[in-house]
Amino acid sequence: MTGQRARGRRLPSALGLALLAAGASLGGLAHGPDGAILGGVAGLALGLGVGGRKRRREARRRALLARPFPEAWRDFLVERYAHFERLPGPERRRFEDALRVFLAEKRITGVGIVVTEEIRLLVAASAVTLTLGWPRAEWDVLTEVLVYPDDFDRDYAFGGDELSGETHPWGTVILSAPALLESFDYAEDAFHVGLHEFAHLLDMERSEFDGTPTGLPEARRREWAALVEAEIARLREGRSELDAYGADDPVEFFAVAVEAFFERPRQVRRRHAELYAFLAAYFVQDPAAWEEALRRGGRGVR
């Protein structure tokens, strides 16, 4: 899902060699020695093309991030997003950089609505919040964000009250604009449609949702499964800080837990210590500690 980018400058060469070998092997199997030569050339050309695209993308990013972050955007985020306000200085700067890259590279399309700069910033902030602790993360699995003018039903008719967001396994995220705005209006209600829907993309493995965060080793997957079972039982007994919707199934539990982790971190840490510790380690973020530092009189920036 949000995989790590390979480090260093040797990626294009390694990729080209791998594709050369694959092309030669396939060509040889199909057409003998001549086919191996042609397949190798084709594989190498493909590898060089991919490497060139990566280099051009990195150059565009460097140029983008060389410019100052728009002060109006920063003021807007401080005013509208409590989580952004609590971020320490280094994390805030990473957030701002990641937000600019997201806006520059991801499609955000209005369906029956004009997507304003405000909406674009809030969509990007929702996604970047989740991957902030992973400096080399990419939203490669995300194909497009569709913004609807209202909530919708399961036939995608506007005005229904069934859905305020939806995530598809092919990478499309749908968000209701009013629900997104409301998510940022109420900072501690543990309802955040942006965080919820982007969290579903972190759960996607082989184009399916299973409720397990992507990238966990097997031992941690088993630990998560046991934790989810216990937490869903607490939800059904009414002894949980999390929204009851999380009791539907493990897929919805993960998204609901993510909402609570970022919106009510101190309460989750106090009442669900094991869950908080797991998510803090997974996201490489500690929003409860950041919130406490801010409440002690810090400004959220070092």
The pLDDT tens digits of the residues spanning 123-158 come to 999 999 999 999 888 899 999 999 999 999 999 999
Over residues 261-280, the pLDDT tens digits come to: 999 999 999 999 999 999 99
Q: What is the mean pLDDT of residues 7-34?
A: 54
| Residues in CB range of 199: below 8 A, 6 or more apart | 130, 254, 255, 258, 259
Provide the pLDDT confidence category of residue 117 given band limits of 50, 70 and 90. very high
CA nearest 62: which of 101, 92, 106?
Answer: 101
The CATH classification number of 71-294 equals: 3.40.390.10
Give the Cα separation of 230 and 45 in Å (integer): 52
Tokens for 123, please give them: 């969509």
Domain boundaries, the chain: 10-67, 71-294
Q: What is the mean pLDDT of residues 12-40?
A: 59
Over residues 184-240, the pLDDT tens digits come to: 999 889 999 999 999 999 988 667 899 999 999 999 999 999 999 999 999 999 999
Max CA-CA distance within the chain?
73
Residue 111 has pLDDT above 60, yes or no: yes
pLDDT at 150: 97
0.75 cut: is pTM over it? yes
pLDDT at 39: 56
Residue 260 has pLDDT above 80, yes or no: yes
If you average pLDDT over every residue of the chain, what do you get?
87
CA nearest 98: which of 78, 123, 128?
Answer: 128
Give the Cα separation of 175 and 124 in Å (integer): 12
pLDDT at 10: 33
- Amino acid present at 56: R
Q: How many angstroms separate the Cα of 32 from the Cα of each of 26, 36, 42, 138?
A: 9, 6, 15, 39
Residue 25 has pLDDT above 80, yes or no: no
Q: Which DSSP symbol is given to 18?
A: H
Neighbouring C-alpha atoms within 13 Å toward the C-beta of 129? 29
Q: How many angstroms separate the Cα of 214 from the Cα of each of 3, 143, 161, 295?
A: 9, 18, 30, 33
Reduced to 3 states (helix: H, G, I; strand: E, B; else coil), residue 207 is: coil
pLDDT at 2: 34
Give the Cα separation of 145 and 138 in Å (integer): 15
Q: What is the mean pLDDT of residues 163-177?
A: 96
Burial class (CB in 10 A: 0-12, 13-18, 19+), 52: exposed
With vertex at residue 285, the alpha carbon angle to CA 8 and CA 247, rounded to the nearest 5 degrees, is: 120
Over residues 27-70, the pLDDT tens digits come to: 667 777 766 566 555 555 555 555 787 889 799 899 998 999 99
